[in-house]
Amino acid sequence: MYRLCRYIILSLFVCMQALSASAQVRNTLFVAPFDFPLLLSGNFGELRTDHFHSGVDFKTQGVVGKPIICVADGYICRASVTPGGYGNALYVMHDNGYMTVYAHLHRFPSGVEKRVREYQYKKETFNTNLWFAPNEFRVKQGDILAHAGNSGYSFGPHLHFEIRDANGNELYDPMEFYRDRLTDTRAPRIHALSFYTKRGKGVLNGSSGSRVCEVDSDTVAETFEAWGDIAFGIKALDYMDGTTNKYGIRDIELFVDNELYFSSTMDHFSFDEDLLINSWLDYGRMCYDGEWFQKLYVEENNNLRLLGTIKNNGWLTVDEERNYNVKCRLKDYHGNTTVCSFVVRGKKQPIPLPALHTHTLYCNANNRVDYVGLRLDVPRGVLFEDAFLNISLQESDGITWRYNLADTVYPMRKGSRISFWTGGKLPVDKSKLYIRHILPDDSSSVGGVYANGWITADIKTIGCYDVAVDTVAPRIVPVKKERWTKDGRVVMKFEENETGLKYFKGALDGKFILIEYNSKNSEFTLDLKREGVKPGRHLLRFVASDRCGNEVVYETEIDYK
């Protein structure tokens, strides 16, 4: 017995030493990207529209231009420029087998900047995606790599930082390498619970569907009476020391009578899994109410790898008249934990019949729906669960049709195809037609191609759509034109309310000149000094078009002194 205890103690000691050594190895793989204390404005895997947050956002003390330190030896393998998204971004392939990404940069290092601008002028384009050979731009750990900024779809100076595998598709939580450099003593918090009943098989408090319960403490006093199959969801946020920012949840566990029903750990995912987020979310509630609830159950075609132990796909079958003790436990990377407990009382009660519907889309079959003036093709495996449609034609004038397909919004893991019949002769140019996705407070174009009386587009959700017409050209509005020559910056606003920007190009005195576009404020900027414009009178000609081919031409003289 003594030898056995001694062996166990020794084994535990060896394991602890191994874990400590592993942590030390991880901490030496990468140095910090800044020489000041690290704070996060966003963490890994946060819930975003149609995707998970693929890295962490490091604060830059509220300013643009902070030097970014190269975290490990390697070489710059790629540089990209986009008007939204990452803005100016660098990709570094490291000798240790990882790739890191630095996004929303202010400017690139001089050698990369030169190559980017050569490409932009050669191709006469702002958008850039360049790959470099291993011997072109070698970098060493500790070098100044670039400077942090606010480019792309960024709403304040920060560094978006990612750690990927060598292929660039698998993403890892940078906290695995930087946990010891951040302070966090604050636990996550559940702000609300959501309850769901399985269609035709469950009831909660006398009704089917879903309901929400706000949470003010770790114990919910309200008792919920249920029968049949029910499931749960949470609206929750994490917090950290030294900031007022809110973060996503790393670890979630759901227990019923101390038995684990659901678990998830946000530690890695791939870009191929991004759209699966919409199955994990209560997607309809997000679209209609703007609230972000995570389901603690799994739909049939959701194969997210970050989901762990799942019993009965997370559904609880209430088939006894007794109390079911439910507990949800959240934990962050530093081990800060919160637990929310509540009781579901089993009470036998009638289960409401499912609502009537016009069509069923099966998630594991090929589906084709033909309805008056409407075609819908949804391939096998695209839906996360069966979809129950209640198609209604809301309005039509013979050209523009509007259909509501279902009483809720069903997300899909890949695109499906929707087509509208537009009649025979069209009173407008067919290129001006497009299909529009309608939400209560918003609408957006999903494009469309016209052929043989039908307009067709790919869609990512089953919801409400119509055919619309865009014959109005965008507008270019000068911004503080009186300051252009004084500031050395020409700024123009792009105004387009329907299909969005497709193309733009600028010329000065008949020759291409680089004009930058920022999608978050819809502004074009020409930096006269940076583009080497000489003093004198110059003619600027700027052309932009929307996605229906409506074009605007803006010409003006610039007296640059």
Distance CA 375, CA 389 (A): 13
DSSP annotation string for 40-79: EEE-TT-EETTEE--SEEEE-TT-S-PEEEP-SSEEEEEE
Q: What amino acid is encoded at 253 in this protein? A: E
Identify the pLDDT of residue 400. Answer: 65
User: Phi and psi (nearest 5°) for 199?
Assistant: -55, 120
* CA separation for the pair 178, 560 (Å, rounded): 49
Helix (H) or strand (E) holding 465: strand 464-469
Q: Residue 539 carries which side chain, given as an amino acid letter? A: L
Q: Is the dihedral of CA 479, 482, 484, 488 positive or negative?
A: negative
Query: What pLDDT score was predicted for residue 22?
Result: 40
Which pLDDT value is given to residue 300? 92
Instruction: Give the pair of three-digit tokens for residue 254.
Output: 């759901």
Distance CA 291, CA 111 (A): 45
> Strands across the sheet with 392-396, in order?
392-396, 401-404, 464-469, 433-439, 442-447
Q: Are 92 and 31 in contact (CB under 8 A)?
A: no
Residue 561, Cβ density class (10 Å: 0-12 exposed, 13-18 middle, ≥19 buried): exposed
The count of other CB atoms within 10 Å of the CB of residue 242 is 14
Question: In angstroms, what CA-CA distances link 34 with 39, 56, 143, 352, 559?
Answer: 10, 14, 11, 58, 42
- Report yes or no: 159 and 58 within 8 Å, Cβ to Cβ: yes
pLDDT, averaged per 10 consecutive residues of the chain (561 residues), comes to 44 40 55 95 95 96 96 98 96 97 95 96 96 97 96 94 96 95 95 96 93 87 92 97 95 97 96 95 93 96 92 96 96 96 95 90 96 93 95 71 88 94 75 90 90 93 92 95 92 93 96 95 94 94 96 95 83
Q: What is the pLDDT of residue 45?
A: 95
In whole angstroms, how large is the CA radius of gyration of the chain? 28
CB 127 within 8 A of CB 83: yes
